[in-house]
């Protein structure tokens, strides 16, 4: 810096500080109708700094070396990654030429970011590439490694925005490997780019340097996560998101509620992949970290102040959302276990159960191993609380009623929590989804319940929670949700009917069924048919006509509903022949509908193969039954 007086240098530093302040602080206050005012001002300052540095360079004795490397500058495509070794060649970072290149590069970098931020992408790209070219002349060292990473992060963003994901990937992966190699080979806290333009007394502490450098790399990880996501490599994307979260926690760079919600969301990814241990870990971490956000302000406090009100709303909402993630955890665990243990008629397969219980020991060992190798969340003070919360919740598929009940109870606790915030008035769809989940959890638990009376009661609970809501909703806005509930209610009533039947069969050895049981059976049967019919009616035109063509998304449900209505009508018990005849005719009508619809729409066959085959048979056989009944009736008259 021989030819630059200290006054001149101080002026440059001031300009830089000013530009930073304009970009980061002032720009937030820019009016809506002139949103880039401060950034445009910052741009001017950066340009001035650039000119001063250039002038200084021109008047400098070491210019020749700079010129030389200008000639060797390779013409390269904007793809990073296959470049020759950035650690081995070029000026060393602390040489005067190296430092000058880094400084100029940093100004180009800031100009690039400035242009991108103000929606002038092509100009931004040019500046960023200028920065790349300047860095090409340098070896990676603690003086410039931060800039090496930052500029690639920015180019990654820029190219991803143009749908050139592979190009972005190249830049970001190079940034990643530069970081890793630097940490391995050097690892000393690197100079931050802002330090290029600060006077001696304002240099950063080692701690601050590390913090900023690590944050830049956290961003690289985050951008890579997005690139992998856009490339469809979800597994890899999830790992990078996980690492991003972990780094935020370790480096203490996070806001508790936001972090917690993100971890809870990541749990949902793991759950859909059936990875319950990882899912549980994320959820436990979410719950613990969300606790760091403090108490929910009381209603009274919220009424006093706008900020408290906002805070109350935020905390309640986010905690309720984390609760809903836990609900899905419990629900999926139950459902997966059910799927695994079901025999061919949907009952618990005890051979399978024994077999799985034997295999359990092995699984437990694997869990232990998995835990050790997994990417674990936690800072010193949260690690233990996360682990102890994890211990309270099972993560293996439940194999018997006791285990299933433990999972169910965890889920149910969170149902109560979630409903406190997501009330019907104001959050209709959210509230109902929670109810549906609760109902599905009961269904999962009922599968494990051996006592049929109690099993029946669990299904009754499902009906009680869904029925009133289903009947109160306005179809114009909530048609889809109502349809789902109608279907579920129909199936639940049918399930109860089956259970009553099995119970009755067990008890009634020889005696005929008592009136009460028949009545109960019939009412369940009619209720089931009623909801299937309601579902079918919801598909009709305003004039009440059945649709000629069933849309793909309702095709199977509609035909299955017909099929099941047919079946239910043939199951109704009546001692009055005319009513029997009516029921059988209704049944026949619905079987015939399935057959005729599929004959007219051959593309529907694949969706309902079994149901169609059975309907065809029944449509052929039922007339016989009907004729016999008619004959009997004629005979009796």
Partner 1 sequence: MASSQVELSADGGRVAVQVEDKFVRIRNVKVSVFAVDSREKLLEFCFDYCYWSVDPADPHYASQEEVFQDLGVSVLSGASEGYNVCLFAYGQTGSGKTYTMMGTPDSIGLTPRICQVCLRICVHVFSSLCSHFSFLEIYNERVRDLLRRGEQKKRASLRVREHPDKGPYVQDLSQHVVSDCKQAMDLLEEGIANRITAATHNHDASSRSHAIFTIQYTQAILENNLPSETVSKINLVDLAGSERADPHYCRDRLTEGSNINKSLVTLGIVISALAQNSQMSSSCQSINSMASEGDGSTVGSHSSSLSGGGGGGGGGGRRHCFIPYRDSVLTWLLKDSLGGNSKTIMIATVSPSANSYNETLSTLRYAAHARNIVNKPRVNEDANVRLIRELREEIDRLKSMLLSFEMRNPSPSLSDERDGNLSDIVLQNELKVMQMATVIFDTSSQSLVIFS
Task: Give residues 56-85 in contact with partner 1 (rule: CB under 8 A).
Answer: 75-78
Residue of 42, 249, 285, 327 that binds partner 1 (CB under 8 A): 327
CB 267 within 8 A of CB 329: yes
Task: Give the C-alpha separation, 138 to 135, whole Å.
Answer: 5
User: Least distance in Å: CB of 528 to partner 1?
Assistant: 11
Task: Report the alpha-carbon distance of residue 148 to residue 139 in Å, rounded.
Answer: 10
Contact between 468 and partner 1 (CB under 8 A)? no
The yes or no reply on residue 451 touching partner 1 (CB under 8 A) is: no
**Residue choice 223, 448, 593, 597 for contact with partner 1 (CB under 8 A):** 223
Least CB distance to partner 1 at residue 601 (A):
16
**Residues in region 159-178 near partner 1 by CB under 8 A:** 160-163, 165, 168
Characterize 420-429 residue by residue with b for buried, 16 or more Cβ atoms within 10 angstroms of its Cβ, and e for exposed. Answer: ebbeeeebbe
How far apart, in whole angstroms, are the C-alpha atoms of residue 153 and residue 108? 14
To the nearest whole angstrom, how small is the minimum distance from the Cβ of residue 164 to partner 1?
9
Q: Which of 397, 489, 565, 612 binds partner 1 (CB under 8 A)?
A: 397
Q: Which range of residues in 199-207, 293-301, 335-343, 593-601 is near partner 1 by CB under 8 A? A: 335-343
Q: Is residue 410 a contact point for partner 1 (CB under 8 A)?
A: no
Stretch that binds partner 1, among 17-25, 46-54, 61-69, 607-615 (CB under 8 A): 607-615
Residue 487: CB minimum distance to partner 1, A: 5
Indicate if the alpha-carbon torsion angle 596, 597, 599, 600 is positive or negative. Answer: positive
CB of 389 to partner 1, least distance (A): 18
At closest approach, how far in Å is the CB of 62 from partner 1? 28
Q: Within 555-574, which residues bind partner 1 (CB under 8 A)?
A: 556-557, 560, 564, 567, 570-574
Tokens of 440: 């599905």
Least distance between partner 1 and beta carbon 190 (Å): 20
* 552 interacts with partner 1 by CB under 8 A: yes
Q: Are 121 and 71 in contact (CB under 8 A)?
A: no
Dihedral-angle region of residue 397 (phi above 0 means left; psi in -120 to 50 means alpha; beta otherwise):
beta
Q: Report yes or no: 439 and 468 within 8 Å, Cβ to Cβ.
A: no
Closer residue to partner 1, CB minimum distance, 11 or 406: 406
For partner 1, what does the binding mask look like between residues 501 and 520, x meaning CB under 8 A? xx-xxx-x---xx----x--
Please pick, from the candidates 274, 294, 384, 605, the single residue that binds partner 1 as defined by CB under 8 A. Answer: 274
CB of 501 to partner 1, least distance (A): 7
* Pair 318, 261: CB distance under 8 Å: yes
184 vs 506, beta carbon nearer partner 1: 506
- The verdict on 637 binding partner 1 (CB under 8 A) reads no
For 246, 274, 336, 338, 369, the CA distances from 396, given in Å and listed in that order, are: 24, 10, 10, 13, 14
C-beta of 254 vs 408, nearer to partner 1: 254
Instruction: Give the nearer residue to partner 1 in terms of CB position, either 161 or 187.
Output: 161
DSSP letter assigned to residue 91: B
d(CA 318, CA 398): 29
| Shortest CB 456 distance to partner 1, Å | 15
Which parts of 477-506 interact with partner 1 (CB under 8 A)? Answer: 477-481, 483-484, 487-488, 491, 494-495, 498, 501-502, 504-506
Neighbours of 73 (CB within 10 A): 11
Of 237 and 463, nearer to partner 1 (C-beta) is 237
Site string for partner 1, 137-156 (x = CB under 8 A): -------------------x
Cα dihedral 48/51/55/58 (nearest 10): 160
263-293 as b/e, with b when 16 or more CB fall inside 10 Å?
A: bbbbbbbbbeeebbbbbbbbbbbbbbbbeeb
DSSP per position, 583-614: HHHHHHHHHHHHHHHHHH-GGGGGGGHHHHHH
Closer to partner 1 by CB, 328 or 592: give it.
328
117 binds partner 1 (CB under 8 A): yes
**Phi, psi (5° rounding) for residue 508?**
-75, 95
The minimum distance between CB 388 and partner 1, in angstroms, equals 24
Task: Please report how close the Cβ of residue 600 comes to partner 1 at its closest, in angstroms.
Answer: 20
What minimum distance in Å lies between the beta carbon of 65 and partner 1? 25
396 binds partner 1 (CB under 8 A): no
Angle at 314 between CA 313 and CA 317, to 5 degrees: 80
- CB of 291 within 8 A of CB of 396? no
Question: In this structure, are residues 286 and 260 in contact, taking their beta carbons and an 8 Å threshold?
Answer: yes
The span from the CA of 619 to the CA of 598, in Å, is 13
6 binds partner 1 (CB under 8 A): no
Q: Is the CB of 102 or the CB of 132 nearer to partner 1?
A: 132
Dist CA 91 CA 79 (whole Å): 23
CA pair distance 465, 432, nearest whole angstrom? 10
**In the range 17-46, which residues lie near partner 1 by CB under 8 A?**
32-36, 40
Residues from 339 through 378 that contact partner 1 (CB under 8 A): 339-340, 342-351
Rounded least distance, CB 149 to partner 1, Å: 14
């Amino acid at each position: 810096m021989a030819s630059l007086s200290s006054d001149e240098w101080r002026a440059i530093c001031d300009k830089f500080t000013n530009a930073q302040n304009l970009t980061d602080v002032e720009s937030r206050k820019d009016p809506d109708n002139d949103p880039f005012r401060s950034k445009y001002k910052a741009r001017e300052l950066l340009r001035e700094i650039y000119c001063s540095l250039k002038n200084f360079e021109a008047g400098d004795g070491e210019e020749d070396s700079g010129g030389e490397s200008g000639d060797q500058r390779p013409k390269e495509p904007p793809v990073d990654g296959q470049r020759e070794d950035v650690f081995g060649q070029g000026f060393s970072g602390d040489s005067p030429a190296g430092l000058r290149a880094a400084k100029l590069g940093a100004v180009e970098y800031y100009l690039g970011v400035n242009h991108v931020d103000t929606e002038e992408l092509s100009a931004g790209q040019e500046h960023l590439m200028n920065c790349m070219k300047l860095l090409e002349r340098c070896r990676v060292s603690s003086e410039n490694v931060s800039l090496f990473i930052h500029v690639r992060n920015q180019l990654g963003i820029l190219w991803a925005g143009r749908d050139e994901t592979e190009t972005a990937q190249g830049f970001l992966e190079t940034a990643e490997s530069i970081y890793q190699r630097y940490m391995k080979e050097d690892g000393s806290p690197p100079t931050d780019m802002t330090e290029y333009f600060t006077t001696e007394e304002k240099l950063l502490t080692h701690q601050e340097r590390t913090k900023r450098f690590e944050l830049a790399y956290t961003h690289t990880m985050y951008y890579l996560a997005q690139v992998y996501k856009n490339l469809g490599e979800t597994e890899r994307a999830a790992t990078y998101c996980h690492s991003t979260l972990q780094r935020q926690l370790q480096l203490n760079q996070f806001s508790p509620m936001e972090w917690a919600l993100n971890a809870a969301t990541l749990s949902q990814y793991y759950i859909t992949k059936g990875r319950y241990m990882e899912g549980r870990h994320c959820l436990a971490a979410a719950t613990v970290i969300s606790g760091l956000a403090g108490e929910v302000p009381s209603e009274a406090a919220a009424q006093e102040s706008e900020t408290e009100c906002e805070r109350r709303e935020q905390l309640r909402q986010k905690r309720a959302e984390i609760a809903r993630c836990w609900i899905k955890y419990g629900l999926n665990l139950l459902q997966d276990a059910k799927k695994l243990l079901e025999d061919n008629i949907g009952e618990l397969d005890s051979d399978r159960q024994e077999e799985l219980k034997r295999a359990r020991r092995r699984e437990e060992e694997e869990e232990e191993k998995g835990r050790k190798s997994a990417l674990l969340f936690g800072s010193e003070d949260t690690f233990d609380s996360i682990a102890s919360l994890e211990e309270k919740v099972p993560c293996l598929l439940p194999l018997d009623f006791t285990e299933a009940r433990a999972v169910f109870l965890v889920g149910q606790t969170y149902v109560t929590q979630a409903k406190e915030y997501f009330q019907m008035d104001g959050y209709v769809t959210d509230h109902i989804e929670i109810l549906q989940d609760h109902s599905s959890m009961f269904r999962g638990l009922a599968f494990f319940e051996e006592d049929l009376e109690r099993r029946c009661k669990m299904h009754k609970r499902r009906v009680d929670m869904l029925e009133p809501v289903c009947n109160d909703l306005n179809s114009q806005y909530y048609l889809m949700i109502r349809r789902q509930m109608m279907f579920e209610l129909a199936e639940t009533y049918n399930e109860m009917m089956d259970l009553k039947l099995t119970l009755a069969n067990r008890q009634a050895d020889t005696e005929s069924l008592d009136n009460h049981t028949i009545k109960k059976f019939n009412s369940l049967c009619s209720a089931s048919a009623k909801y299937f019919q309601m579902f079918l009616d919801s598909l009709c035109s305003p004039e009440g006509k059945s649709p000629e063509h069933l849309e793909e998304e309702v095709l199977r449900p509609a035909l299955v509903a017909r099929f099941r209505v047919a079946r239910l009508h043939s199951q109704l018990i009546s001692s009055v022949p005319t009513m029997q005849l009516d029921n059988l005719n209704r049944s026949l009508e619905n079987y015939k509908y399935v057959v005729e619809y599929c004959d007219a729409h051959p593309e529907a066959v694949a969706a309902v193969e079994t149901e169609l085959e059975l309907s065809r048979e029944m449509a052929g056989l039922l007339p016989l039954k009907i004729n016999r009944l008619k004959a009997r009736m004629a005979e009796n008259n």
